[in-house]
Amino acid sequence: MSTTYRTAIVGCGNISHTHASTYRRHPCIDLAAGADIDAERLAAFRERWEVPAGYGDYREMLAEVKPELVSICTYAKLHWPMLKACAEAGVRGIICEKPMLNSPAELPLVRELVDQTGVKIVLGHMRRYGMAHLRARELVLGGEIGDPILVVGTLTGGGLAEMGSHWIDLMRHLIGDPEVVSVLAQTNMQDGTLCGHAQEDDAVLLMEFAGGIKGLFESGQTTLKDNVLTLIVGSQGSIQILGEDDLVISGPDGVRKEDLMVEQPEQWKALGLELPEPWWNYKWDILLREYLAWVDGGEAPLTCADQALKATEAYMAGYLSAIRREKIHLPLPGKDLTLDEWPGDVLARLASDRSV
């Protein structure tokens, strides 16, 4: 790959620094500009990553810098207008942060935008490239635990769409990305807010996948050992992913462990990448490598918009299920695609009327 891509970041807050450091590690990225409405954040970002140009208005940045690639690192509410503005300005590739969209109404709009402009969008669902996750997927798809029956993701905090976006996406990934055919969910909304929208304190979401596999996601206030557990149960065994790095594989021949953190230097050599600082950001390096290969005409990566939209549709359906107290069938029909606001905000309003 010899092309150099003129690249910009919109939204220069916390996660933008991970994008910038990943870009800095790649020889084909020219990090040319940043845009943020907060002048102090923008200045700190530019200084840290030695970014030549800065803008308060991202549309002005698009017009003047004409970036080929853009990272969108703002909250969900701004993603659709920013995706649209970037694609219409001729941007070829976008890494968009999760949660991908703000409302069910934006789902068909973004699909149409991709069809019309050919813009290549990937989501910051970098956990798909975690070594333990890639290894578990390989074992599941290779038949190690027989036919998958159930996939579980349970986390301390994070809600249906903030951390749920990662895990609902990851749960599909681990079992080979089947379609989600229905969703049943409930939330405990108090007064929480996160990233500019209402945020549930606890949430459960049951998914049914094509082929009959079930998926159970929980995000709760009760602290879990390791904060997260992911489990795949099959007809002949199971795989537990403890934290995000260790596997416990149970099957007819007994139980064995794979500690992918300890084995990590070997894994690194196999991936042919330099170890970043902190090391766990390697997932971003793989994401960037796969995304650039796609922009260059290669295959769509695991984190492409097609996959991300399915996770997005599933958590949107989860909110609709909690609002309407019924099972929601996917793909969402036209009547469910009319809601044009963060559905968690609707739930928060309903929850504030505790007389019901």
Ligand X SMILES: NC(=O)c1ccc[n+]([C@@H]2O[C@H](COP(=O)([O-])OP(=O)(O)OC[C@H]3O[C@@H](n4cnc5c(N)ncnc54)[C@H](O)[C@@H]3O)[C@@H](O)[C@H]2O)c1
Q: What end-to-end distance do the CA atoms of the chain give, in Å? A: 60
Q: Does 75 contact ligand X by CB under 6 A?
A: yes
Taken as a whole, the chain contains a residue count of 356
Residue closer to ligand X, measured from CB, 22 or 154: 22
**Stretch 316-345 residues interacting with ligand X (CB under 6 A):** none
Q: Does 174 contact ligand X by CB under 6 A?
A: no
Q: Does 53 contact ligand X by CB under 6 A?
A: no
Q: Does 291 contact ligand X by CB under 6 A?
A: no
Q: Provide the sign of the torsion angle of the four alpha carbons 49, 52, 54, 60, taken in this order.
A: negative
Q: Does 23 contact ligand X by CB under 6 A?
A: no
Least Cα distance to 320 among 292, 298, 342, 296 occurs for 342
Count Cβ atoms within 10 A of the Cβ of residue 171 and give its class: 0-12 exposed, 13-18 middle, 19 or more buried: buried
Q: x/- site string to ligand X, residues 124 to 143, per CB under 6 A?
A: x-------------------
Q: Does 58 contact ligand X by CB under 6 A?
A: yes
Question: Which tokens in the block code for residue 252?
Answer: 């007819």
Stretch touching ligand X by CB under 6 A, among 4-12, 101-109, 140-148, 234-242: 4-12
Q: Does 97 contact ligand X by CB under 6 A?
A: yes
Cβ 177 vs Cβ 307: under 8 Å: yes
Residue closer to ligand X, measured from CB, 75 or 268: 75
Q: Does 38 contact ligand X by CB under 6 A?
A: yes
Cβ 198 vs Cβ 348: under 8 Å: yes
Residue closer to ligand X, measured from CB, 85 or 213: 85
Q: Does 195 contact ligand X by CB under 6 A?
A: yes
CB atoms within 10 A of CB 66: 14
The CA angle 22-27-33, to the nearest 5 degrees, is 65
* Residue of 11, 153, 164, 178 that binds ligand X (CB under 6 A): 11
* Residue of 1, 4, 24, 37 that binds ligand X (CB under 6 A): 37
Residue closer to ligand X, measured from CB, 124 or 234: 124
Q: In whole angstroms, what is the distance from residue 53 CA to residue 55 CA?
A: 7
Question: Which tokens in the block code for residue 267?
Answer: 């894994």
Q: In whole angstroms, what is the distance from residue 262 CA to residue 260 CA?
A: 5
Buried b (16+ CB within 10 A) or exposed e, 225-256: eeebbbbbbbeebbbbbbebbbbebbbeeeee
By beta-carbon distance, which residue lies closest to ligand X?
A: 13
Cβ 186 vs Cβ 204: under 8 Å: yes
Residue closer to ligand X, measured from CB, 188 or 281: 281
Residue closer to ligand X, measured from CB, 102 or 238: 102
Angle between helices 14-24 and 282-295 (to 10 degrees): 70
Q: In whole angstroms, what is the distance from residue 161 CA to residue 343 CA?
A: 10
Q: Does 64 contact ligand X by CB under 6 A?
A: no
Q: Does 229 contact ligand X by CB under 6 A?
A: no
Residue closer to ligand X, measured from CB, 258 or 290: 290
Stretch touching ligand X by CB under 6 A, among 10-18, 19-27, 146-154, 336-344: 10-18
Q: Does 197 contact ligand X by CB under 6 A?
A: no
Residue closer to ligand X, measured from CB, 40 or 353: 40
Interface positions with ligand X (CB under 6 A): 10-15, 35-38, 41, 58, 73-76, 78, 97-98, 124, 162, 195
